[in-house]
Amino acid sequence: MKTVFIKSEALSDIILDHKHFELRLDKSYFRDLKIGDTIMFKDSKRNLICIIDNLYKFKNFEHVFENLDFRNFSSRVESKKDMIKFYHNLYNKSKLSVIVFKISKKT
């Protein structure tokens, strides 16, 4: 099981069923994950084990949000344009491709 550190707000969104997708840059740490794998999300105080229900790979952030609903990534962003801007700022306009995990809480 891989451990992924996320912001407290993002972990809260997963716990409250507001966040169903986790986006990461296509780096070696995430490339061997498969559908059905478990992943532990952690913030500074809490952790939550989730199951990967599906995996998507995209060329860039724009392609992600042309294909997936931005509202499944965060409850605090109002538009697709703002979501793309959020990820560009978070990842410093990275040119790497993107991996998206569709997740559900493990019960």
Supply the pTM of this predicted model.
Answer: 0.88
- Which pLDDT value is given to residue 44? 94
**Band of pLDDT at residue 107, cut at 50, 70 and 90:** confident
Quick: pLDDT tens for 19-56.
999 999 999 999 999 999 999 999 999 999 999 999 99
pLDDT of 106 above 90: no
Query: In the predicted model, is pLDDT for residue 104 greater than 80?
Result: yes
Strand order in the sheet with 2-5: 2-5, 38-42, 47-58, 98-105, 21-25
Would you list the DSSP string of 15-32?
HTT---EEEEE--HHHHT
